[in-house]
Copies of this chain bind each other. A is one copy, B any other.
């Protein structure tokens, strides 16, 4: 069955075919998702386990991916932390009370994932039953990426406020990162206990840092989060974008599988961490290419992986809202065809 491929790749064991899933695979590019969003906001879908479960299953049914990822948002823990989270149409997340001082860190409320984020765990339990053996991925934002949102108050282009705090008040920075590392690690472990088959840590914006800054300000905290997450034995996928200058450090922070974007060749990635699996790395914009060009790009990634155990096919970042679902389905079929072991 399909779930075997994903589970084998997580352990870097030979798989019946290369497993494939897409970051943000339950999202606006799917008509089925938009139908749910027409009646519920993003936060409402997250808060209602039966809705979160429903959209989690959609890409498994419609796109044929080898794993589901629970529908949630990396910023959900900001609600119990007391940061004030809203999503504005087209503008992305907005944080009502950004963190700028040590007092702001001290003021953060304790978060118990089992109670404060229990609705995510309930959604995992529901989806796990409904998926009937198809693997389910839980996830959380990495300490750095969460800190950047908490400090900037939303999305950012140059992360000036984040770096100002990091460079100017390293004690407060490390206190915040330690809080987030513990919270994220415990939250991921709870998702594993609820039934998730793998746990992905999203460090989406860490590529704005120099290698030295990553080593000094981020690595120890990501390592702690991953160690806590792995305590229950569920494999961890550690993902970042723009990490080509410090792949070795990303791997040093931990993760059974390292997720990379399209700017990293799989060869370079495996040279940097020969003992891990690799997830990636099609440019999400490749799905806007005509089929012949898209096919060539998928084949090129398959050729780079060269059948080596431990490759999970994915995009290098989230699937874009204007993507044609037929193209996403075509990529899944291509990956399966090209990697299926001869009968």
Q: Which residues of A contact B (CB under 8 A)?
A: 158-160, 163-164, 167-168, 207, 209-213, 242, 244-245, 262-265, 268, 283-286, 288-290, 293-294, 300, 317, 320, 322
Contacts and interface: CB of A to CB of B under 8 A. Distances in A.
A160 B262 contact: no
Contacts of A158: 284-285, 317, 320
A106 B210 CA distance: 42
A244 B243 CA distance: 9
B285 A159 contact: yes
A305 B324 CA distance: 48
A243 to B, nearest CB: 9
Interface of A is mostly: helix
Given A158-B284, A158-B320, A210-B283, A289 B242 contact: no
Nearest to A283: B210
Nearest to A281: B210
Contact of A286 (B167, B294, B322): B167
- State the 6 A-B residue pairs at the shortest beta-carbon distance, nearest first: A167-B289, A163-B285, A244-B245, A164-B288, A210-B262, A245-B263
A196 B285 CA distance: 39
A163 B288 contact: yes
Contacts of A159: 285
Contacts of A211: 263, 265
A283 to B, nearest CB: 6
Nearest to A246: B263
Given A158-B320, A320-B160, A167 B288 contact: yes
30 contacts: A158-B284, A158-B285, A158-B317, A158-B320, A159-B285, A160-B285, A160-B288, A163-B283, A163-B285, A163-B289, A164-B285, A167-B285, A167-B286, A167-B290, A167-B293, A167-B294, A168-B288, A168-B289, A207-B242, A210-B263, A211-B263, A211-B265, A212-B300, A213-B283, A242-B242, A242-B263, A245-B263, A245-B264, A245-B265, A245-B268
A263 B168 contact: no
A304 to B, nearest CB: 10
Contacts of A317: 158
